[in-house]
Chains A and B, each alone.
Chain A
Amino acid sequence: MPLFSMSGVTKRYGGVRALEDANLAIEGGRIHAVLGENGAGKSTLIKIMAGVVMPDEGRMVLDGAPVAFASPAAANDAGIACIFQELSLIPDLSVADNIAISNPPRRFGLIDRRAQRRIAEQALSRAGGENIHPLALIKDLSLSRRQIVEIAKALARRPRILILDEATSALTAADVTKIYGVLRRLRADGLALVYISHRMHEIVELADECTVFCNGRSVATFAAGTKTDNEIVEMMIGREYSAVFPARVPRAASAASPLLEVRHLSWTERLSDVSLKLKAGEIIGLGGLDGQGQRELLLALFGVLRGTTGEVLIDGRPVDITGPDVAKRSTIGMALIPEDRKTEGLMLPMSVRDNLSFAALDTLSHWGVVDRAAEEDAVDRIVRRLAVRTDGTSQPAGSLSGGNQQKLVIGKWLMTRPRILLLNDPTRGIDVGTKQEIYGLLQELAGAGAAVLFYSTDYDELVGCCDRVLVMYDGAIRRELSGDEITEHALVSSALNVGSEPRSEGAPHSV
């Protein structure tokens, strides 16, 4: 008998069916992977398990007894802990406070700080975060460290079922390896782990069983390793799966001078002496471990960072970009797709139309008055071009799925007709179908003469999309790979900054 099972679970939001007759059975001592595109119902499934939302129909059974969770606290009490994709840490409290937040140890009714410290240190070491100080405030930690604290926090509740929703998406490669070890140890301890990830190699490496969701239904459950990647992807997207990466659009080899040139760019201790040249029609990737200065480089180019040194040239002329407003001017024509679409990319409560036209409002208005007809027209064109799935352009951006939200962020900047497109990990946490569309779009834009600078935490993307890849380490470009040199092996070894020689010949190695 499984430790926990749900059967016939259905959840509707208004008229939209998020989950329909979903079934899932999980057992202790196993890692159960849940796969599916965004909008396939995975998030709703987890939210139901974690007590965040109540199902409309269906039953859940824990230890042979039917259960229902009215709140996250109720699910916690039943031994279910969840690590959400959106971090649930409290920024102004310390690491130890956060780890013990759900049920702080008490003595005479007051929080026992010494016991709390002990619990925090134990949980941190179980989660592979021994080097995180328990008194540090969450807001002072990096994203990767916060994710480790998040895992420690879940473990401190001594759960029997641990749900990880894209738990590794914010982690640096070093932390990912640690987390794999942690998860295997937890499995050996008898925990049931539910693992949600978009990264196929993680599933292959970790899972015992897999359940695939498509359009709100659980379509198949099978033992890991019994299906090929291709078969799994086909189940997920329900359509023929040919090549993940679109063929490169042939571009005229431009001997022209670079559109964007960066000379000796430095900023605090995070960027040191970065130089690069980007030509029209070229897609350059930024590689390396997460947090090696890639993000800062893009922000610096876009004028967000104060106190940078070095030179930026557009069309061979030095420019001083002091902010996004300057960067988007037609003489420069730069656009940045930010990392976090929910905070930096979109105004979630505002409509699809408003979100799309924000960056281009100056070109859509006369004497400060927005030309509504022209706006509507331009918005419609972008929505069609990017195939954004909406119920109309008046729908709030926040009600779209993650992939469609990302399309809005990209669409917003396409409305300004950028010549230089900077992308900060644009495919993080979005579904396979949308990813492919974004890859296709990048090729199309480059084919039309745009210059693309593309940071990705996914090495496959860099291999599949880029003409050249600049690998960063510790704020500097350590390695430039181009053409056939761009292999996963080369990317990983140079990302770790281990002294391996360039391997321009031979088959790509998987690492």
Chain B
Amino acid sequence: MSSDWRYGLHEHKGTLLAFAAFVLMFTIYATNHPAGLNANVATTAANKGTLLAIVAIAQTMVVLTAGIDLSVGMVMVLANCLASTVVNGSPLMTALGVLSVLFVGGLCGAINGLIVIYGRLQPIVTTIATGAVYYGAALALRRVPGGDVNSSLADALTGQLPGGIPASLALLLGLVLVVWLPFRRSAVGRAAYAVGSSEIAAYMSGVPVRRAKFVAYTLSGILASAAGLFLTLITYSGEASAANGSTYTLYSIAAVVLGGVSLFGGSGSAVGAIFGALMFRTIGDLLFVFNVEPLWQPLFQGLVLFAAVCLGTARLLRIRNRLDLYG
């Protein structure tokens, strides 16, 4: 039918807006950069952006089910500490190390999921508590910053591909293709959206509500640990930093909002969240380019986030039936 594209546009509005906003910001950044946009500048920017983007995908998984995961940052820190210990040695050892980091991340997410599903606790409280526990585990693992990581793996994933393309962007694309799109198109992914949109209707329709939540939380944990792994590859070390954990948790929520994912659940896409994360990073870099003191960065980021939220609620001004305000 000819009107198909209109419905498609309507559905992906949030993602497209986030993409457009990011492209705009990045263009301003690139054209004003003192050194121009060379491969090294792009790679550094891409690595920072990718790190937050992976955490944002993790957050998206849970937010889609109308939950929130305040432990993503702590899982990332735990994975960082673990990776700085086990992702070392021969290629086989390194591979096993990577798998064990992802496994621990999945375990953290699964625990969150099981508590939310069977303990019937609110996600926000559950993940604050488990987040603290995960951070405790990270501290136990690494009281002082240190450790090491397989440097050839680090160089491969944080460096450049032939042609100067940042390898981290390829990694991000890989995650979208291998994790997000299959999830989006799978029955369990559909179920996660359904649960977020209306849990009762989903249950009444015979949707596997528990399985959907479990998969969403577990995937969130795995992705958060992937971010921790990537952090290790960037820094070549592990650090049980509470500040890092909290910051990334909050930034991931900001990225999700900027990316057009509804905090009420049921709508949005991880692709939008990725652009939200890249946008949020670019804001910080923009200030650097324009020689603004770093002191102003939080204030400016806050203003942009606020503007994004306002944009999201602009539709309220057009509402002619006040009942819709409270829907």
Contact = CB atoms under 8 A, between A and B. Distances in A.
Answer yes or no: are A and B bound together in one complex.
yes
Interface of A: 52, 71-73, 76, 84, 87-94, 97-98, 101-102, 104, 106, 109-111, 113, 133, 135-137, 153, 267-268, 296, 299, 304-307, 323, 344
A76 B206 contact: yes
Most chain A beta-carbon contacts within 10 A, residue among B182, B197, B207, B262: B197
A101 B205 contact: yes
B203 interface: yes
B119 interface: no
A88 B187 contact: no
B190 A91 contact: no
Contacts of B162: none
B315 interface: no
Given A88-B201, A135-B8, A135-B11, 7 more contacts: A90-B193, A90-B194, A97-B193, A101-B194, A102-B206, A104-B187, A296-B321
A23 B208 CA distance: 31
B187 A111 contact: yes
Main secondary structure of the interface of B (DSSP, over half): helix
B190 A305 contact: no
B320 A72 contact: no
Contacts, number: 98
Given A111-B190, A137-B11, A306 B182 contact: no
Contacts of B196: 92
- Interface SS of chain A: helix, strand, loop or mixed? loop
A89 B187 contact: no
A50 to B, nearest CB: 8
A307 B182 contact: no
Nearest to A72: B206
B198 A90 contact: yes
A299 B323 contact: yes
Interface in B233-258: none
Contact of B3 (A101, A113, A133): A133
B318 to A, nearest CB: 9
A91 B205 contact: no
Given A72-B206, A88-B205, A101-B205, A94 B11 contact: yes
14 contacts: A88-B201, A90-B205, A92-B196, A101-B202, A101-B207, A106-B187, A110-B185, A111-B190, A133-B3, A135-B11, A153-B205, A267-B320, A323-B322, A344-B323
Nearest to B266: A92
B269 to A, nearest CB: 12
A153 to B, nearest CB: 7
Give 7 closest A-B pairs by Cβ, nearest first.
A135-B7, A92-B266, A73-B206, A92-B197, A88-B204, A110-B185, A102-B206
A113 B267 CA distance: 18
A84 B206 CA distance: 13
A137 B198 contact: no
B178 interface: no
Interface in B55-109: none
Nearest to A74: B206
Nearest to B202: A90
Contacts of B320: 267-268, 305-307
B204 A92 contact: no
B1 interface: yes
B259 to A, nearest CB: 16
Nearest to B189: A111
B3 to A, nearest CB: 7
B40 interface: no
B314 interface: no
B120 interface: no
A10 B322 CA distance: 45
Interface residues of B, number: 34
B319 interface: yes
A306 B321 contact: yes
Contacts of A299: 321, 323
Among B8, B182, B323, find the residue whose CB has the most chain A CB atoms closer than 10 A. Answer: B323
The CB with the most chain B CB atoms within 10 A, among A89, A101, A113, A136, is that of A101
- Name, among B185, B193, B203, B205, the residue most crowded by chain A CB atoms within 10 Å (CB to CB): B205
A71 B185 CA distance: 25
Nearest to A97: B190
Interface in B172-213: 182, 185-187, 190, 193-194, 196-198, 200-208
B186 A71 contact: no
Given A90-B194, A90-B202, A102-B205, A137 B322 contact: no
B185 A304 contact: no
Contacts of B3: 133
A104 B194 CA distance: 13
| Most chain B Cβ neighbours within 10 Å, of A88, A102, A111, A153 | A88
B4 interface: yes
A76 B323 CA distance: 35
Interface in B264-278: 266-267
Given A91-B198, A133-B1, A304-B323, A72 B204 contact: yes
Given A90-B202, A92-B267, A109-B186, A135 B321 contact: no
A154 to B, nearest CB: 10
Given A92-B266, A136-B7, A71 B197 contact: no
A102 B207 contact: yes
A307 B319 CA distance: 10
B7 A93 contact: no
Nearest to A87: B201
A73 B208 contact: yes
A89 B186 CA distance: 19
Given A91-B197, A93-B197, A304 B322 contact: yes
Contacts of B207: 101-102
A137 B262 CA distance: 15
A84 B266 contact: no
B193 A92 contact: yes
Contacts of B205: 72, 88, 90, 98, 101-102, 153
Contacts of A135: 4, 7-8, 11
B194 to A, nearest CB: 5
Contacts of A101: 190, 194, 202, 205-207
Nearest to A110: B185
Contacts of A97: 190, 193
B210 to A, nearest CB: 11
Given A106-B187, A306-B320, A306-B321, A137 B204 contact: no
A471 B58 CA distance: 55
Nearest to A157: B206
B139 to A, nearest CB: 40
Contacts of B321: 296, 299, 304-306
A87 B198 CA distance: 11
Nearest to A76: B206
Contacts of B193: 90, 92-93, 97
A88 B198 CA distance: 9
